[in-house]
Amino acid sequence: MEMLRCVAELRLVDHHCHGVLEDDLGRADFESLLTEADTPAPGTTLFDSLSGLAVRRWCAPVLGLPPHAPADDYLARRAELGAPEVNRRFLRAAGLAALCVDTGFATGRLLSPERMAEESGAHAYEIVRLEQVAEEVAARHPSPREFAGAVRARLAERAADAVGVKSIAAYRAGLALPPIRPSDAEVTSAVERWLPTIGDDQPRLADMTLHAFLAWCGVDLGLPIQFHVGYGDADVNLHHCDPLLLTPWLRATAPHGTPVMLLHNYPYHRNAAYLAQVFPHVYADAGLATHNAAHRAPTVIAETLELIPFGKFLYSSDGYALPELHHLGALWFRRALDTFLRSGLDTGEWTHDDAEHIARLAGAENARRVYRLDERGPAAAGE
């Protein structure tokens, strides 16, 4: 199966991913990072999944093994090469022009944007996680009245070097953000409830008023705001993560024009595509679901492309910890785009020039335009 050249040779902008690990991983660790499951059921293995089959089929050759190598052979070869070499091979194989790295989770253990640039040979940019900034401020035990100002100030510092911010309201409180900007008094009173619960623990923000406050901080900054939407691990209440719950907030923020980036979206990807059609400031991708659905990613992405204008659809891997995921995200995104574009070429729905134009928009140009990548220096540039 020949892939369209305009898709095969396109260097992608991965507008949402995380760093990779440099630790060597045993089988249990690897399986726990492969999908959103923490652990397989008794008597089963997570290699028995579309994700696992894709690792054996498409990742094994990158490590010099035959396609479909057994899982244990794969992990043995991975250990033999060592994490740094494995990371480099997969991040190079992904064929990226740039990546936007969310630095707000498990930061110490994962490669920094600088190191991700180095290993991938691509430009790397930073995405600042709003809740992480707020939790950093909360850990200093400010007075509740000072909290909002301190968050705004710290966020301005952090965002100076970033191309976007990210909200994980979906994980902590759901996406039914109130459509009105919370008042300072409401923020203060939410902080008054929260701070005393922290003690010496690592603070964990999970309060709708505070998530809404942070999202409005993002609107004010004017940088694109990424929202985790839909599919995630067992901590998510997926029915509170339908992007349609964000509708009133999107209606309220539309006049500001700050781009809102709906990440992942599965299984609500058609809903996200609808929002991206009707709200000029809304964009969407099929992140995380791309490498999890693997062989089925072309269907998921085709469903997303029913309503979304091609100027609103982006590529992300949501790769985290395992560089295989950055590679498989790129591989399945390309195959999905190729399948979609060829299906229309076959029946004469569009021209080859149209196909090339759509591929460029979705794979790279939309991200460059929305994040203004060409107007700012990357956090780091790979060679």
Question: Where in 309-368 is the site for a second copy (CB under 8 A)?
Answer: 309-312, 343-344, 347-351, 354, 357-358, 361
Residue 53, interface with a second copy (CB under 8 A)? yes
CB of 57 to a second copy, least distance (A): 6
Q: Are strands 96-102 and 225-229 parallel, antiparallel or unpaired?
A: unpaired
CB of 78 to a second copy, least distance (A): 20
* Total residue length of the chain: 383
Q: Which positions from 136 through 195 interact with a second copy, judged by CB under 8 A? A: none
Q: Which positions from 205 through 244 interact with a second copy, judged by CB under 8 A? A: 231, 233-234, 237-239, 242, 244
| H-helix segments, 173-288 | 184-194, 208-221, 247-253, 269-278
CB of 382 to a second copy, least distance (A): 27
CB of 215 to a second copy, least distance (A): 19
248: left (phi over 0), alpha (psi -120 to 50) or beta: alpha
Nearer Cβ to a second copy (113/243): 243
Helix, coil or strand: residue 43: coil
Q: Are strands 260-264 and 225-229 parallel, antiparallel or unpaired?
A: parallel
Q: Are strands 123-129 and 162-167 parallel, antiparallel or unpaired?
A: parallel
Residue 62, interface with a second copy (CB under 8 A)? no
Nearer Cβ to a second copy (185/347): 347
Pick from 122, 187, 300, 322 the residue near a second copy by CB under 8 A.
Answer: 300
CB of 199 to a second copy, least distance (A): 24
Size of the site for a second copy (CB under 8 A): 77
Pick from 3, 22, 29, 57 the residue near a second copy by CB under 8 A.
Answer: 57
* CA angle, residues 49, 53, 54, in degrees to nearest 5: 115
Nearer Cβ to a second copy (281/327): 281
Which residues fall within 8 angstroms of residue 240, CB to CB, at 6 or more apart? 170, 173, 174, 175, 176
Query: Between 265 and 294, how does the x/- string for binding to a second copy read (CB under 8 A)?
Result: -xx--xx--x--xxxxx-x-----x--xxx
Q: Are strands 123-129 and 96-102 parallel, antiparallel or unpaired?
A: parallel
Pick from 120, 247, 253, 316 the residue near a second copy by CB under 8 A.
Answer: 247
CB of 119 to a second copy, least distance (A): 27
Nearer Cβ to a second copy (230/319): 230
Residue 38, interface with a second copy (CB under 8 A)? yes
DSSP bridge pairs for 164: 127
Pick from 54, 116, 163, 359 the residue near a second copy by CB under 8 A.
Answer: 54
Nearer Cβ to a second copy (1/160): 1
In the chain, DSSP assigns E strands to: 12-17, 96-102, 123-129, 162-167, 225-229, 260-264, 282-285, 313-314, 380-381
The span from the CA of 121 to the CA of 141, in Å, is 41
Contact 230, 268 (CB under 8 A): yes
DSSP bridge pairs for 313: 284
